[in-house]
Amino acid sequence: MNALGDPTRRMIFERLRRGPKAVGELADGLPVSRPAVSQHLRVLKEAGLVSERRDGTRRVYRVEPDGLAGLRAYFDRFWDEALAAYAAAAQTEEEG
Amino acid sequence: MNALGDPTRRMIFERLRRGPKAVGELADGLPVSRPAVSQHLRVLKEAGLVSERRDGTRRVYRVEPDGLAGLRAYFDRFWDEALAAYAAAAQTEEEG
DNA sequence: CCACTTCGTAAGTTGCCACTTACGGTAAGT
DNA sequence: ACTTACCGTAAGTGGCAACTTACGAAGTGG
């Protein structure tokens, strides 16, 4: 969650959702240098949102479904609770 | 999305999902001062995640369902695309 | 009218983090 | 062995944002 706070990191993550990409590929078209992308990928990796596969001298990164599922679960739970609280408040107001 | 990057702001938002709360209420129990909470609430408000209602000298904040729905939609779309890309990659590998 | 509560904002400071450049390491080709 | 491609990391810097304190505005009650 903290990991997706940075806009650049979100761009990287969004590019990765289309499919696996190497670091250089990701850096092309992004307004930051390749090392910067590399550092962002480390953060995303530590957050469990991406994983890495070595392919020769290249490192191919891809979205990690489990990490993404965690985020989804977080928001689903949030959604449910918020909606329940909302309904409860509306009913309380109706009764009062 | 940027708005939920900060941990303190997430705490505030999570407290708000249980139901509406005033600024002072939110600040109690949080490790930051009341003005800090107020500033965070402004950010959340500009992001469309919370809304404000005046009640005497108090300002009661609550989660804005539309904003929350936007986040949910973002992740749903992300989830779908990532999964589709994943399935496509798996099939390509199977064929190859 | 005055005291009290609740809050937003202004101003200033500090710490962090996103970024760059420079470097070293590993794999593949010739 | 040499070169080239691709990448992670170290080191250093700048800017931003999260925080504090201080203050003023708006509402309520005696």
pLDDT tens sequence across A56-79: 999 999 999 999 999 999 988 989
**What does the DSSP 8-state code read for residue A4?**
G
- Reported confidence tier of residue B93, pLDDT bands at 50, 70, 90: low
CATH assignment, B1-63: 1.10.10.10
Enumerate the nucleotides of strand D whose atoms come under 7 Å of any protein CB. Answer: 5-10, 17-22, 25-28
A29 pLDDT above the threshold of 80 = yes
- Reported confidence tier of residue A94, pLDDT bands at 50, 70, 90: low
Set of chain A residues whose Cβ sits within 8 Å of the Cβ of B2: 5, 7
pLDDT one-digit tens code per residue, B4-27: 999 999 999 999 999 999 999 999
- For residue B77, give both structure tokens: 């779309």
Q: Is A44 on the interface with B (CB under 8 A)?
A: no
pLDDT one-digit tens code per residue, B33-83: 999 999 999 999 999 999 999 999 999 999 999 999 999 999 889 899 988
CA pair distance B91, B96, nearest whole angstrom = 8
A55 pLDDT above the threshold of 90 = yes
Closest CA to A29 of A52, A49, A12, A6: A12
CA pair distance A31, A37, nearest whole angstrom = 10
Residue B44: its pLDDT value, please?
A: 98
**What does the DSSP 8-state code read for residue A43?**
H
Percentage of chain A beyond pLDDT 70 is 95
CA pair distance B47, B60, nearest whole angstrom = 17
Closest CA to A23 of A58, A55, A54, A63: A58
Residue B11, nucleotide of least CA–C1' distance: D18
Query: How confident is the prediction for chain B on average, in pLDDT?
Result: 92
Domain assignments of chain B as residue spans, ordered by start: 1-63, 65-96
- Reported confidence tier of residue A93, pLDDT bands at 50, 70, 90: low
Q: Are A10 and A3 in contact (CB under 8 A)?
A: no
Percentage of chain B beyond pLDDT 70 is 95
Contact yes or no for A63 and B79 at CB 8 A: no
Residue A86: its pLDDT value, please?
A: 75
